[in-house]
Amino acid sequence: MLIEGGFPGSTLLKPGHKKRILNKLRGHIDKFDIPKEFPYKESFSDLDVLIVCPSSTNILKLIKGLFNPKALYHNGGGYSFDFELFQID
């Protein structure tokens, strides 16, 4: 599900958010990255994070445990959720 313009009440990404989000994944997901176009955008309505993990990983439980989102949507092959008033896909 695409949340046009981000989740209600969401804000643009601040410089320190990217590092904080990736640090939360360290130790829980072995392979993860942000698409290369991220550093070149002037404003961000969401952050795409790509992960590779075993099929046995309970992604929903991991997202809830690490990010404690107030809103979370399953988008077929991925999830969209909020973290500190910012949308992560």
- Render pLDDT for 16-38 as a digit per residue (tens, 0 to 9): 888 888 999 999 998 998 886 65
Pairing relationship of beta strands 50-52 and 79-83 according to DSSP bridges: unpaired
Domains of the chain, residue spans? 15-88
Rg, Å, the chain Cα set: 12
Predicted model pTM:
0.77
**Sign of the alpha-carbon dihedral angle for 34, 39, 40, 44:** positive
pLDDT at 86 > cutoff 80: yes
More confident residue, 13 or 88: 88
Q: d(Cα 74, Cα 68) in Å, to the nearest integer?
A: 15
Confidence band (pLDDT; 50, 70, 90) for 1?
Answer: very low
Residue 58 is predicted with a pLDDT of 93
